Structure 1
Amino acid sequence: MSLLNPARNQLLETFALDATLIRGSGARLFDEQGEEYLDFLSQYGALPFGHNPERGWAALSAAHQAQLPSMVQPMRSPEAERLARKLAEVTPGDLAITTLTNSGAETVEAAIKLVRIRTGRSVILSTRNGFHGKTLGALSATGKPLYQQGFNAPAPDFDYLPFGDLAALEARLEAHADLIAAFILEPIQGEGGVVCPPEGYVEAAIALCRQHGVLTILDEIQTGLGRTGQLFACSNFLDVPDMLLLSKALGGGLMPIGACIVRPSAWDDRFGRLHSSTFANNALAATAACATLDQLLEDNGALIRQVAENGAYIRARLEALQRDYP
């Protein structure tokens, strides 16, 4: 029996996914027998440059050579502050104040805490089939009963609307806006089946929530950092969300890290004083994240433009298959 989560190990054996991988380079993985695999999964979007990216390792090696202190709480972390400045520069609108975390789910938890203390309200509204993580708060915001069964989830004060249904959101806001702290959603549902909403839905939802005094949390943990052919799915929005959540690709495939980036009008110092994390703000994760942003943005975002071109091509070919085989 495996001592590392035997239930998961049994699933891997059932689906013949139990190969022992010992080396990774770019999009290729190699097992103990020397068999080569093309990695189309990319750790659910956490490997923006593939396995063992040279730029990321060079940044971490430079940090090692400089003997940067990695964890210095409660003192200031220059690398974490450098990352926060970079994020403020590249995020749209007045998104500017960053809280760093260690994962996507922890980023969602931080956002939930912040909107509740900022508004004094408790209800978190999300979408059916949305996915926001598997810690209890994030799991409660995740609109998939499959993941909630047996965990006494959702916790109280979480509710769900159909994804892409602006009328349903408007009706809920008109009836109960005074109880709702925030509406959290993905710009494209990932775990829900790669579901794109109607054109303009996300930006209209943000504007509608703002009219009713409800904060918005845009979960770009999976879509952010180039995966939609823009740096963020909300890069060109006129109405930006009150909070933008990042993780996965932010660590460049080398370090776990997340970021909750907030408009000044949605920030609350009470949260800033009370919320903390032992490993957040560590210099190595922040160094890897800074290197990731630099690589994504170099040459005027050439890599992201290539993503947009590839995405348009693949989508066109898939739609052609769909027409041929309805």
Structure 2
Amino acid sequence: MTTNPEHSGSDLAEPYLGGLLASLGLNVHYHRARKDTLYYRDETGREVAVLDLVGGYGSTVLGHNHPALVAHARQLLDQGVPVHAQFSRHPYANDLAQRVNAILRREFGDVGEYSAIFANSGAEAVEIAVKHAELDRVAKVADLMAEIDGNIEKARAALAGGARVPADETLDRLTVARAAPPDAVLDAVTRANAERAAAAPVFLAPEGSFHGKLVGSVQLTHNAGFRTPFQSLAARCRFVPVREPDALAEAIDAERGTLFDVAVDGDAVRVVERDLPVICAFILEPVQGEAGIRPFDRETVERVQRVCAAVDLPIIVDEVQSGMGRTGTFFASSQVGLLGDYYTLAKSLGGGIAKAAMTLVRKSRYRDEFELVHSSTFAKDAFSTLIAARTVDLLEADGGAVYALAAERGARLLAMLNGLRDEFPTVVADVRGVGLMIGMEFRDQSGSAAGFIAEQARDGLLGYALSGYLLRAHALRVLPTASATDTLRLEPSVFITDGEIDRVEAGLRALLTALRDGDEAAIAPG
């Protein structure tokens, strides 16, 4: 391998990460890519082909440099398609939104229309959904406050006509004396509501969630190492063990907020409480990618939707990694009936060529004013959006042949991996996934006879160490999931061949044999 010494002087581009890659044997510079193969040059200048199972963390469902997309990109550039034509008409963006809406209707039924907001990355698409959901919540709170203000004015008129304020336990919760003058009670209602309405929102997400590492999205990511250094910068998220039957309902009840209102009832003005929208949204991935490739089941999804619907809590479905056909349908959520108020798409939306993302918002919740308070310089440009549209065309071609291929290739990979699990039960803890989004989880190796492996396991770097071995010894590019580093992810393109799957099997069998036997010499870097 080569560390690619193409410059002199200090490493300034993320130097710590570069050193970590070197220590794990992953510091390779790839200079060429095609389908599921990446190429680098070794110390002698010989080109080495590596089978890529990382797939851009799910970004290359159609492989690297798909010829139809490369040709389309060249055509667009040759035409001089503008990238910077902001605040103008973008008909191609509307065309893409219409196509994706048609897919939604096919996979979910008559669900109405979804408006589209464009972005550059998955984390940004998530932040758009979060921002829109908060704009919607704030507007609802403002409407509720205005309604209560009107009720207070009606109450003042009733009190002037001789009505009274009955003393009851609601006044105790308002922290006003039961014998307080009526006007003092109404003033206390106004003060209490102003304080409560200004409370920061709360988001709900399943334990294990990963939704990005930007200021807002990182707070929706369960991994404390990513989240806690920045927890004071964004809204709080409560993580819920949603596979437990009552957990979500209990979390919603625990975060419940109220405002005080007044109601004129004959000659009485009563203080009552009304629900305050404190929880902004519930966000989840249909397949939790960075938590170790963990799909949600239909029963859990149905319970989530039922509980959220009961309190009008919007659901954000993060399809950034699982969408675009990787699991055998365009939306992985459609396989378990997970209907969202928001959908986020990215990664493979750009076909492995462009950086493209979009957020879909159910029209019944859509706030037009969001388009004036949110913008992005590079979002919705002609190049990336037209590449995304061509990608969708390729996915939809021949009756969705790509989806069927993803399901078939995924089943082939799963069968092979399950065979290895059965062959090495003391090493492999689990194999799970949907379509071409698969994880292989290893048993705890902190007690391994191989000192190097035991050390890496204790440091939380096991998956990276195993990836270094597979790259060095078998020219296989695999990486662990971000928050479950004992799980290797496999996310190749739909074009992975039987022969390549056989290569994966041979490399993994050698790795599992070395782990089982504690063969440190085989696994540790030379």
Corresponding residue number in structure 1 for 2:19: 10
Corresponding residue number in structure 2 for 1:88: 101
Query: Offset at 1:79?
Result: 2.2
Query: Offset at 1:73?
Result: 0.9
Query: With structure 2 as the length reference, what TM-score do the two structures score?
Result: 0.59
Query: Offset at 1:245?
Result: 0.7
1:137 alignment partner, one of 195, 212, 216: 216
Query: Offset at 1:207?
Result: 3.1
2:48 alignment partner, one of 21, 24, 35: 35
- The 2-side partners of 1:260 and 1:200 are apart by 26
Q: 1:314 to 1:107 in 2, by over 3 A?
A: same
2:128 alignment partner, one of 110, 114, 122: 110
Segment of structure 1 superposing worse, 58-67 or 300-309? 58-67
State the secondary structure of the residue aligned to 1:265. Answer: coil
Q: 1:41 to 1:237 in 2, by over 3 A?
A: closer
Deviation by residue 1:23-69 (Cα, 9 ceiling, x = unmatched): 11111111133111111111101112111111111222222233322
- The 2-side partners of 1:237 and 1:150 are apart by 35
- Unmatched 5+ residue regions in structure 2? 1-9, 142-200, 257-276, 426-526
Q: Root-mean-square deviation (CA), in Å?
A: 1.9
Corresponding residue number in structure 2 for 1:45: 58
Structure 1 contact 244–261 (Cα < 8 Å) conserved: yes
Supply the AA of the counterpart residue of 2:223. Answer: K
Query: Offset at 1:78?
Result: 2.3
- The 1-side partners of 2:303 and 2:231 are apart by 33
State the secondary structure of the residue aligned to 2:118. Answer: strand
Q: For 1:166-315, what aligned pairs fall within 5 Å after superposition? A: 166-176=245-255, 178-235=277-334, 240-315=339-414
- The 2-side partners of 1:60 and 1:140 are apart by 36
Larger-Rg structure? 2
Query: Offset at 1:188?
Result: 1.1
Supply the AA of the counterpart residue of 2:72. Answer: A
Query: Offset at 1:130?
Result: 0.8
1:63 alignment partner, one of 76, 82, 100: 76
2:115 alignment partner, one of 78, 97, 100: 97
Segment of structure 1 superposing worse, 78-87 or 123-132? 78-87
Q: 1:228 to 1:153 in 2, by over 3 A?
A: farther
Higher strand share: 2
- The 1-side partners of 2:233 and 2:102 are apart by 36
Q: 1:82 to 1:3 in 2, by over 3 A?
A: same
Supply the AA of the counterpart residue of 2:241. Answer: P
Structure 1 contact 136–153 (Cα < 8 Å) conserved: no
Query: With structure 1 as the length reference, what TM-score do the two structures score?
Result: 0.94
Query: Offset at 1:137?
Result: 0.5
Identity %, equivalent residues: 32
Structure 1 contact 96–261 (Cα < 8 Å) conserved: yes
Structure 2 contact 83–378 (Cα < 8 Å) conserved: no
Q: 1:36 to 1:139 in 2, by over 3 A?
A: same
- The 1-side partners of 2:240 and 2:343 are apart by 20
Q: For 1:66-77, what aligned pairs fall within 5 Å after superposition? A: 66-77=79-90
Structure 2 contact 286–338 (Cα < 8 Å) conserved: no
Deviation by residue 1:192-237 (Cα, 9 ceiling, x = unmatched): 0111233332243123212211000000100001111111112356
Corresponding residue number in structure 2 for 1:54: 67
Deviation by residue 1:246-304 (Cα, 9 ceiling, x = unmatched): 10000000111111111111211221221110110111110110011011110101111
- The 1-side partners of 2:365 and 2:245 are apart by 23
Query: Offset at 1:71?
Result: 2.2
Structure 2 contact 123–212 (Cα < 8 Å) conserved: yes
Structure 1 contact 140–153 (Cα < 8 Å) conserved: no
1:161 alignment partner, one of 209, 216, 240: 240
Corresponding residue number in structure 1 for 2:28: 19
